[in-house]
Amino acid sequence: MSDFETDRRHANVQVAALFDALLQVPDGPENRLVEAMRYTTLSDGKGFRPYLCYASAQLFNVDEAHAIRAAAAVEAVHCYSLVHDDLPSMDDDDMRRGKPSLHVAFDEATAILAGDALLTLAFDILSDEATHKEAGKRIDLMAALARAAGMRGMVGGQMIDLQSPQLALDAGGLTRLQKMKTGALIGFAVEAGAILGAADEAERHALTGYAHDIGLAFQIADDVLDVDAASSDLGKTAGKDAEDGKVTFASLLGQERARDQAGLLVEQAIAHLSIFGASADSLRQAAEFVINRQN
């Protein structure tokens, strides 16, 4: 296995163990909520964002338990966003990670509440001393997460995305949308490692550039896969964007140019990592994974 595959598996096994411990099912009628939170956090996703957090923390020899807690916070926010985005009034998607979406497996109300509770859990995790003994580091993590996930980041991006069939976005508009909707949280995943590791200015700058480029490449690759792949490979409904009348990088640029663009971004992302030498090999492989994955 490559460094990337080893790290990805290692990080996600530990994140799952943490969710399992945090989400012990209570003995009361609120158990339905916790079951729903387990359904989504313990499902079989790519675990790309937790990996990024873990691998970026590794560059600075961050205590592994700290990195895993930050990675779990990232994953909790990612899961919440998927659960809410899949709702009938949003993207109305019945399938996610190869199984029924949460609102299908449970119901809409439970899905809304489970998303709410996962977002809250992310801040709960970060606020705990177990994440870092210095309050200042925990505050930096929480402030950065609130920025990335909030109205000027992920949620704002989803608001634009929902309106996109009416917006006739050009490549610039679509890039801005994706920077908010997916880029901001990918950026936070990498930034969290830098915060925990007390990275210097140049290191932070390199990691921010890396995250920006792979974030956009990730989305372009998603758009290309959405056209190419079968639903069974994706684990979610394929061809959904075109059906919904949404502009995508594939529809704007065509499949081939979109693929080229993603490839260029990955090269650029890797170039940012030069200051870290061989210790960033895992992140380099992760960048390649972004465009070579099948789902």
Task: List contacts with its own copies (CB under 8 A).
Answer: 26, 28-30, 32-34, 37, 80, 84, 87, 89-90, 107-110, 112-113, 115-117, 119-121, 123-124, 127-128, 135-136, 138-139, 142-143, 145-147, 149-152, 155-160, 162-163, 167, 176, 180
Give dist(CA 110, CA 122) in Å, integer. 18
Which residue, 3 or 191, is less far from its own copies as judged by CB?
191
Instruction: Count CB neighbours of 295 within 10 A.
Output: 16
In the complex, the smallest distance separating the C-beta of residue 88 from its own copies, rounded to whole angstroms, is 8
Q: Using alpha carbons only, how large is the chain's radius of gyration in Å?
A: 18
Give min distance, CB of 35 to its own copies, in A.
10
Give me the least distance between CB of 281 and its own copies, in Å please: 34
In the bound state with its own copies, the residue whose beta carbon lies nearer, of 11 and 22, is 22
Cα 89–75–2 angle (5° rounding)? 125
- Which has the closest alpha carbon to 70: 58, 83, 85? 58
| Distance, C-alpha 258 to centroid of its chain | 21
> How many residues comprise the chain?
295
**Type of residue found at 3:** D
Q: What are phi and psi of 163, to 5 degrees?
A: -90, -5
Structure tokens at 112: 């809304």
Nearer to its own copies, 56 or 110 (CB): 110
Nearer to its own copies, 192 or 266 (CB): 192
For residue 59, what is the DSSP state? T
Closest distance of CB 283 from its own copies, Å? 27
Sheet strands (E) in 148-194: none
Cα distance between residue 136 and residue 248, in whole Å: 40
Nearest CB to its own copies, comparing residues 36 and 291: 36
Cβ–Cβ < 8 Å for 187, 140: no
Q: Shortest gap between Cβ of 165 and its own copies (angstroms)?
A: 12
Q: How far is the CB of 204 from its own copies (least distance, A)?
A: 18
Indicate the residue among 11 and 121 with the shorter CB distance to its own copies: 121
Given the complex with its own copies, which of 245 and 254 has the nearer CB atom? 245
